[in-house]
Chains A and B, each alone.
Chain A
Amino acid sequence: DTGVSQDPRHKITKRGQNVTFRCDPISEHNRLYWYRQTLGQGPEFLTYFQNEAQLEKSRLLSDRFSAERPKGSFSTLEIQRTEQGDSAMYLCASSPTGGASFETQYFGPGTRLLVL
């Protein structure tokens, strides 16, 4: 169990540019989640996948945001035409659908995005 990994850990971009983040969940976890955390706040839910199916999207996920999990393993989160308000920590989490750890989400280290 290597834990949830995210890449890159830090990203600085200029307003208007597109960025893409990657998340690799714990290998046997079917569910994968994206959250956004702004400074001094708790994480806010963005979206979640069960296998390759995106089952829920938050209203926070504007049209400029898109998430994929094409083969039910890793996931990508893309932000198009970034705005300064997109600056935040983007957290990925995964969870199993059964077993002793059922219902618990395990978080990755996050990708910190700064839009200049």
Chain B
Amino acid sequence: AQTVTQSQPEMSVQEAETVTLSCTYDTSESDYYLFWYKQPPSRQMILVIRQEAYKQQNATENRFSVNFQKAAKSFSLKISDSQLGDAAMYFCAYRSGGAQKLVFGQGTRLTINP
């Protein structure tokens, strides 16, 4: 079974600085998708960024970018110019190309210090 590991339960960063959240996963498959979701306190989970495993180019969405290292099975999220609104739980998730369910990591709580 696939597993997703987020080794940083908590992270903090100064406003306007850059922070990187780590995620590793275990799979024997070659076709899969990776996602980062953000869950603000008492609010619903929203997609931050996604990466298709067959794409070599790292995905970017404005201030958010990933470092996808397929051989190392690593999928880190970089947040540039951190803003107070970025404070949330961040979940890394894996989806097999042949299945529908998402497998989530344990989450990283990100705090932004003003």
Q: Which residues of A contact B (CB under 8 A)?
A: 4, 31, 33, 35, 40-45, 48, 55-56, 58, 91, 95, 103-110
| Chain B proximity of A50: nearest CB distance (Å) | 8
| B101 lies within 8 A of A45 (CB) | yes
User: Which listed residue (B4, B100, B103) contacts A56, Cβ 8 A?
Assistant: B100
| A43 lies within 8 A of B100 (CB) | no
Binds A, one of B40-48, B62-70, B79-87: B40-48
| B91 lies within 8 A of A104 (CB) | no
| A103 lies within 8 A of B50 (CB) | yes
| Chain B proximity of A66: nearest CB distance (Å) | 18
Q: Which residue of B lies closest to A107 (CB)?
A: B45
> CB of B25 within 8 A of chain A?
no
Kindly list 13 other residue pairs between chains A and B, CB separation below 8 angstroms, not including A42-B107, A107-B45: A4-B44, A33-B102, A41-B106, A42-B106, A43-B45, A43-B91, A45-B103, A48-B101, A55-B100, A104-B35, A104-B47, A109-B43, A110-B44
| Chain B proximity of A115: nearest CB distance (Å) | 20
Which residues from A are CB-within-8-Å of B91? 42-43
1/0 per residue, CB under 8 A from A, across B6-22: the answer is 00000000000000000
Q: Which residue of A lies closest to B46 (CB)?
A: A107
| B102 lies within 8 A of A45 (CB) | yes
Which residues from A are CB-within-8-Å of B52? 103
| A41 lies within 8 A of B107 (CB) | yes
CA separation between A108 and B37, bound complex, in Å? 13
CA separation between A92 and B84, bound complex, in Å? 27
| B103 lies within 8 A of A104 (CB) | no
5 contacts across the A-B interface (CB closer than 8 A): A33-B101, A104-B50, A105-B47, A107-B45, A110-B44
CA separation between A101 and B45, bound complex, in Å? 16
CA separation between A33 and B101, bound complex, in Å? 8
